[in-house]
Amino acid sequence: MNPHQKSHEQTSSLPPSATPSAPPSATPAATPSAPTPARPNHRFLWISLSVLGASLTVLGTAMAAQQQGTDVALATVALSKSIGTWCAALLTIGILTFLYRDNPFYKVCESILIGVSAAYWMVNGFWSTLVPNLFGKLMPGVVRDVAIPSLPVSATPGFDMALAFVPLLLGLMLLWRLSPKGGWISVWPLAFIIGTTAGIRLVASIEADLLAQASATIRPLVVFKETVLVGGIGAGSTTTSDPSVAMAASVQALDFWGTVGAVTGVVGVLSVLTYFFFSLEHKGAVGKSARLGVWFLMITFGSAFGLTVMGRITLLAQRLEFLFKDWMGIS
Amino acid sequence: MLQRTVPMAILSLSGLILMLAYFSPMTTSWGETVLDWFNILAAVAFVLGAGNLLAVNLEKISSRRAGWAYAAITLIAFFLMLGFGLLKVGAVPNAEHPTVAFAGGYETAASPFGWTYEYIFSPLTATMFAMLAFYVASAAFRAFRAKNIESILLLGTAFIILLAQTAAGMFLTGWIPEESAFAFLRLDWMKVAITEHIQTAGMRAITIGIALGVVATSLRLILGIDKSYLSKS
Amino acid sequence: MLARLGGIDRRWIFLAMGLSIAVPILLKLRFPEVPGPMAKATFNAIESVPEGSRVLLSFDYDPGSAGELQPMANAIVHHCAARGHKIVFMALWPLGKQMAEGTIKDVLLEFHPTYTYGKDYVQLGYKAGNEAVVKLMATNVPQQYSTDAAGAALASLPIVADLAKLADFKLIASLSAGYPGAKEWVQYANSADPEAFKVISGSTGVQVSQLLPYYPAQMEGMLVAVKGAAEYEMLVTAKYPSSEKPALLAERLGQGRVRMGPQLVAHLLMIGLIILGNVAMVAGRARGGAR
Amino acid sequence: MDRPHLTCLRRTSTRLFVAATPILLLATTVTAAAEEQSGWINTARVPLLIALVLICGAVIAGIAIARTGRPLHIRKLAALDAVEEAIGRATEMGRSVLFVPGIQDMTDIQTVAGVTVLGRVAKIAAEYDARLEVPTARSIVMAAARETVRAAHYSAGRPESYNEANIYYITDEQFGYVAAVTGKMVREKPAACFYMGAFYAESLLFAENGNSIGAIQIAGTAEPSQLPFFVAACDYTLIGEEFFAASAYLSGERDQLGSVKGQDFGKLLITAAILIGCALATAAVFMPSLTDAASTFKAILGG
């Protein structure tokens, strides 16, 4: 894990990055490094700022009114919701305009996103983890008075407090990274983070990814049809746990596709592992097996590709649904 | 000493404790303490991220680099959201303890923090992701080429999955009886065969390979053989 | 003509993609779905835990993936509540908590108004630390979560008062959009106590291939992308309809099927584009030699 | 970093490790005395412990063998052979070479592997006198990349052609980074593009843009979800573990090569386990007396 990231920046699919590139035939789009015309740019900026300010004012009034009377409250809730929907719709469209070309509207949306997300993560980390798990141990009394009244009372408060000084210190050292000097100071918490990650990943990888995967690969390479059972168990039953029944069935019918599937599964794993075997050149039998492994890999990727495309389309469908239904009211 | 030996000792010790804690029940509580610290540091890392953001954007504004105005917007958005959240502005008071200043919930749409999340943050991230649908279409046209047998296999499989995942699969091959000898020509049959047998096998082998890589790297780190994190910092 | 196609402005392609998704939505195109083996396995996993069991739902996604995962979340929450399970909500992603809150409001309290906080469900909220959170919870939940998300001590909430470790759950479901997510639940929770509980997941299309190796041995059920959501919705709504609000249930537990409409057109467009792109390349080569 | 210093460090670390183990054992005993109810070892996890010792032992043995100085061989990797061709072509065309080391920090193993590959690319580029550009998304990665490229220029015998300005930091922010890089790609049209490191959604965007400007593209990553895009759109792709092996091979560090050997040994162990298990399971179909043995074997592996 990289500690200097918001945790979900490591997700397999991140927000797309803007490509300001346009095909050669199209008008060259502005890029961050390219000089952008200053004036329209700034006029746009002030407009968006004032829109932002205005909506916040309305929002604030709405909030204040909400705490007064019921009728007014209902009206303001509805108002804040409809302002919200408009905001969301405009921002959605703002991002989508980038498809045509890079423009200030998009850039404003992007800038807001960057700022809001950093703050969101920080606020969440603060209230959900730092306050209860760190400050709750360092100064439980204060935390109980100010933020979490029902914070459980520890049996060994002194010991807990002493222990909590370690992450406090490491945390401060981590923040030292912001200073231009003394880079080595942040290496201590970094080492702790890397060591912890290495420790838990090492064991988990062996258990869940090596042994369990090997175990899951293991299966009989010959499969018999389970329904054609001779004697004893009725046709409805599908169990072959009784060895003598399995024996009797084995005389009866071979499950062709079941067998092919079982063999494919095992051969697939082994041939791809051969491809990942680096000590031997891909020649002769090893070469053939590795080649088969590549084909397995390509089919794997093809399937993953199809599923990924499906995911991307769903996300866009959801945004369009929002625009059509919640904003335009087409339903 | 302080710059190299101590970090290396910290790294090895924290890694070893966690490994030990998994096998020896009596050390489980140590492992728990280490993990607790780790999680606190992970939360501190968010503060670090925010700090970096501040530094970069302030520098942009102070040097009046191109697009500095956008940096200003970023900062305004950042501070507004941060203020809403840290001060719990407009938070719904805690039902049991209404007098405790910071005990309220700040994440409902009735508070500015929750409102900003709901109507600004959420649509922005969702749309950013949704843009990928467009790019994947463009890439389909411009980049995905059947160059050799491998890429033909890849694209061919993708076609089958794309068709089988929708009603097109049933429409095209649904008429083939499921019990017939040609049932394997049904797209839904092929999809199951591909994902459950071939893709699972391929991913298992990739997973095993990557797991071995993770084990080797973690081991090198814990044993102090790999020190790339030291020299590059 | 074909050769010139290669140099087409890609905004035309963007437009085609946008239309191929917008038009089916506006026309409300819906196609029948046939539940596949994985959706059935997921359904059966929740069915097979005794009624009223304590289950853990981890919301490991954010609005960016809500299009795919929210339909699954809605259906799983409705399914669990219809079975009378005691639901514990949590999140490994900072925004996951908000997603869980939304689901509680839109589905849990809407269709199961008798569910009371602390007794039938509880919201633990988000904790930083990724897989370390799971790993710590495997042996010691109270050390990770001393209070629920609102700050109430766990001991004061009947549903979690005796919760010591993950093995005290009967089922764990992760709605997973990446790291950390279902993979981490399998690696760190399931490995620690393979017999104690079942693990199921709902995953985005991108993450499916990474999770496939764990199904069915380490993960008993898995919903694959929006198609999995649509299939599962059908299974759940067929067995657990709402007598009071059938229309609303059809809407809240029909999002997956609604989003399957645009898939057909968009997938055909994708296939067409890949073929067209290759044809254009071949034509271009025939005309102008190598690139 | 000079070599003697490294050896010294290695010795320190070994000593540290040797010292840490007894301390841990001692502390365990103390805790054991204090908490009588908990056992020394979780018996259910003994098979896992044995596997852990075996696999870690294989890696350590590989490293130990490497340190004896025995020659170590790693198979040819097509993608690495293509590097020279790609750079040569860029030189002929008078265009630049672009290298993207992923979007993660140095704490990600993939970034470290990417920077190692950069060393080789930079050396060939220096020999051909091609212009190499390395935009990075992290400032520490930039520092590491500069160091690597400078060293490559020295070892190619052309220190004078090293230009620090070609290796630059853009922004941590993913959107901003990719926008800047792809913008540059469209304007400058590099003839060869390398993507080596940790990639997420941007894999598609880089590969698509690279393709549209007709560059030779060589990629390497261990992110399974992004591999399909690289494989479909790039000319060569180092897949998963292959990427790490390539980096170990290029690093020239014997420890790294040794651990690749160790990993191979681990793969042999796993292959053997799968073969034995399948043989047992298949035999059990015909000889029911073996059923117990087959399921026990599978269960032990599965934990």
Q: Which of C282, C272, C281 is nearest to C6 (CA)?
A: C281
Q: How far apart are CA D175 and CA D178, in angstroms?
A: 5
D51 in contact with A, Cβ within 8 Å: yes
Q: How far is CA D243 from CA B150, B209, B213, B223, C54, in A?
A: 19, 11, 10, 23, 44
* Per-residue tokens: C237: 């709504």
C35 burial via Cβ count (<10 Å: 0-12, 13-18, 19+): middle
Q: What's the mean pLDDT in B66-72? A: 86
pLDDT above 50: residue A106:
yes
Domain boundary among A201, A218, A235: A218
- Of chain B, the percentage scoring pLDDT greater than 70 comes to 97
Residue D292 burial (10 A CB sphere; 0-12, 13-18, 19+): exposed
Is the model's pLDDT at A176 over the cut of 70? yes
Give chains near B: 3+ CB pairs under 8 A: A, C, D
- Name the minimum distance, in Å, from the CA of A316 to any CA of chain C: 8
Instruction: List C-alpha distances in Å: B50 to A49, C28, D190.
Output: 22, 43, 34
Is A137 found in the same domain as A46?
Answer: yes
For residue A9, being part of any structural domain is answered with no
More confident call, A165 vs D140: A165
Predicted local confidence at residue C186, as pLDDT: 92
Q: Which tokens is C193 given?
A: 């106590």
Residues of chain D with Cβ-Cβ distance to B154 below 8 Å are 228, 231-232
Region label for D66, one of left (φ > 0), alpha (ψ between -120 and 50) or beta (otherwise): alpha
Q: CA A249, CA A158: separation in Å to the nearest integer?
A: 69
Same domain, B108 and B183: no
Q: Which two tokens stand for residue D171?
A: 């922004």
User: DSSP 3-state assignment of A80?
Assistant: helix
**Contact criterion met (CB < 8 Å) for C259 and A317:** yes
What tokens does A99 get?
């498809």
How many domains are there within chain A?
Answer: 3
What phi-psi label fits residue C28: left (phi over 0), alpha (psi between -120 and 50 degrees) or beta? Answer: left
Residues 218-237 of C with CB under 8 A from B: 224-225, 227
Ranges under pLDDT 50 in chain C: 290-291
Does domain C37-253 match CATH 1.20.1050.140? Answer: no
Structural domains in chain B (count)? 2
Average pLDDT over residues B182-204: 90
Q: Is residue B120 domain-shared with residue B26, that is, in the same domain? A: yes
* CATH of span D78-251: 3.40.50
**3-class secondary-structure state, position C59:** strand
Shared domain for A134 and A232, answered yes or no, is: no
D105 touches chain A (CB under 8 A): yes
How many C-beta neighbours within 10 Å does residue A12 have? 24
B36 in the same domain as B9:
yes
Q: Helix or strand or coil: residue A103?
A: coil
β-pair partners for B173? none
A12 touches chain D (CB under 8 A): yes
Any D CB within 8 A of A20 CB: yes
Domain boundaries, chain C: 2-28+261-288, 37-253
Residue D123 is predicted with a pLDDT of 93
Q: Is C89 left (phi over 0), alpha (psi -120 to 50) or beta?
A: beta
The type of residue at D180 is A
DSSP string, chain B: -TTTHHHHHHHHHHHHHHHHHHH-GGGHHHHHHHHHHHHHHHHHHHHHHHHHHHHHHHHHHHTT-TTHHHHHHHHHHHHHHHHHHHTTTTPBPPSS-TTSTT-SB--STTSHHHHHIIIIIHHHHHHHHHTHHHHHHHHHHHT----SHHHHHHHHHHHHHHHHTSHHHHHHHTTS-TTSTTGGGSHHHHHHHIIIIIIHHHHHHHHHHHHHHHHHHHHHHHTT---HHHHT-
Residue with tokens 């689901």: C103
The answer to whether C22 and C266 are in contact (CB under 8 A) is no
Q: Which residue has the tokens 């029911």?
A: D288
Distance between B179 CA and the closest CA of chain A, angstroms: 12
Rounded to whole angstroms, the Cα distance separating B95 from B89 reads 17
- pLDDT reported for residue A317: 94
Which of the given ranges, A72-86, A106-120, A262-276, has the highest pLDDT on average? A262-276
Angle at A32 between CA A30 and CA A37, to 5 degrees: 55
Taking contacts as CB-CB distances below 8 angstroms, the residues of chain C near B142 are 10, 277
State which of A171, A190, A218 marks the end of a domain: A218
Tokens of D276: 């034995």
Q: Which residues of A touch D258 (CB under 8 A)?
A: none
**ipTM of predicted complex:** 0.89
Does residue A3 belong to any structural domain of this protein?
Answer: no
Q: What are the structure tokens assigned to A45, written together? A: 């900026």
Name the amino acid, one letter, at D24. L
Residues of D in contact with B217 (CB under 8 A): 109, 259
Among A8, A24, A196, select the one facing C132 at the smallest CB separation: A196
Query: Contact, B133 vs A312, CB < 8 A?
Result: yes
pLDDT at A7 over 60: no
- According to the 3-state scheme, what is the secondary structure of chain D? CCHHHHHHHHHHHHHHHHHHHHHHHHHHHHHHHHCCCCCCCCHHHHHHHHHHHHHHHHHHHHHHHHHCCCCCCCCCCHHHHHHHHHHHHHHHHCCCEEEECCCCCCCCHHHHHHHHHHHHHHHHHHHHCCCEEEEECCHHHHHHHHHHHHHHHHHCCCHHHCCHHHEEECCCCHHHHHHHHHHHHHHHCCCEEEEECCCCCHHHHHHHHHHHCCCEEEEEECCCCCHHHHHHHCCEEEECHHHHHHHHHHHCCHHHHHHHHHHHHHHHHHHHHHHHHHHHHHHHHHCHHHHHHHHHHHHHHHC
What's phi and psi for D257, nearest 5 deg? -60, -40
Question: Nearest CA to CA, how far is B50 from chain C (Å)?
Answer: 15
Half-sphere exposure in the Cβ direction for C93 (13 Å, CA): 29
**Closest chain A residue by Cα to residue B51:** A178
| Preferred mutation among B97, B106, B119, B151 to probe A, highest tally of A CBs within 10 A | B119
Chain B residues within an 8 Å CB radius of A305: 154, 157-158, 161
Each residue's pLDDT tens digit in chain D (303 positions)?
334 444 554 565 565 555 566 566 666 555 555 554 456 778 778 888 889 999 999 999 999 999 898 888 888 888 888 999 999 999 999 999 999 999 888 777 788 889 989 999 999 999 999 999 999 988 778 888 988 899 999 999 999 999 988 998 887 767 678 878 988 898 899 999 999 999 988 898 899 889 888 899 999 998 888 999 999 999 999 998 899 888 888 887 888 899 999 999 999 999 999 999 999 999 998 888 888 888 888 888 875
Question: What DSSP string runs through A22-76?
Answer: --TTSPPPP-TTSPPPHHHHHHHHHHHHHHHHHHHHHHHHHHHHHTT-HHHHHHH
- C255 sits in the region (left: phi over 0; alpha: psi -120 to 50; else beta) called alpha
- Residue written as tokens 């670390």? D13
Lowest-confidence range among A234-248, A287-301, C125-139, D30-44?
A: A234-248
What is d(CA D240, CA D114) in angstroms, rounded to the nearest whole number? 12
Contacts of A12 in chain C (CB under 8 A): 178-179, 204, 206-207, 210
pLDDT value of position A30: 34
Positive or negative CA dihedral for A127, A132, A137, A140? positive
Q: What is the mean pLDDT of chain B?
A: 86
Do A120 and A185 sit in the same domain of this protein?
A: no
| Best CA proximity match to A19, nearest among C215, B124, D184, B217 | D184
| 3-state DSSP assignment of residue C56 | strand
Q: Give the C-alpha separation, C235 to C44, whole Å.
A: 10
Q: Which of C191, C209, C261 comes nearest A204 by C-beta?
A: C191
pLDDT at position A117 over 60: yes
Considering the domain architecture, whether residues B97 and B140 belong to the same structural domain is answered as no
| Angle of helix B5-23 versus helix B28-62 axis, rounded to 10 | 140
8-state DSSP, C149: T
Q: Which domain holds residue A304?
A: 220-327
Per DSSP, the three-state class of C231 is helix
Q: Are residues B40 and B115 in the same domain?
A: yes
A301/D228 Cβ within 8 A: yes
pLDDT band at A72 (very low <50, low <70, confident <90, very high): low
Both B122 and B145 in a single domain? no
**What are the tokens at A148?**
């979490």
Under an 8 A CB cutoff, do D263 and B142 touch?
no
Residues in chain D, how many? 303
Lowest mean pLDDT among A308-312, B99-103, D247-251: B99-103
Where in the sequence is the domain holding B206, given as residue range(s)?
A: 134-231
Q: C5: which residues sit within 8 A by CB, 6+ positions away?
A: C276, C279, C280, C283
Q: Residues C243-262, buried b or exposed e (16+ Cβ, 10 A)?
A: eeeeeebeebbbbbbbbbbb
Same domain, A230 and A241: yes
Considering only residues 79 to 108 of chain C, which have any Cβ-Cβ distance to chain B shorter than 8 Å? Answer: 95, 97-98, 101
Residue D167, token pair as written in the block: 């290796």
Residues A199-209 have a mean pLDDT of 89
Let me know: does B7 contact A190? Beta carbons within 8 Å: yes
Do A228 and A317 share a domain, yes or no?
A: yes
Contact assessment for residue B68 and residue A36, using Cβ atoms and an 8 Å cutoff: no
What tokens were used for B224? Answer: 């102090």
Q: Are C143 and C133 in contact (CB under 8 A)?
A: no
More confident call, D267 vs A47: D267
Which residues, 6+ apart, have CB-to-CB distance to A69 below 8 Å?
A: none
Task: Give all strands (DSSP E) within chain C, no chain letters.
Answer: 54-60, 86-91, 121-126, 171-176, 198-203, 221-224
- In the predicted model, is pLDDT for residue A10 greater than 70? no
Query: How far is C-alpha A240 from the chain's CA centre?
Result: 41
Q: What is the pLDDT of residues B19-43, one digit of tens each?
A: 999 888 888 889 999 999 999 998 9
Which of D37, D32, D201, D217 lies closest to D103 in space, CA to CA? D201
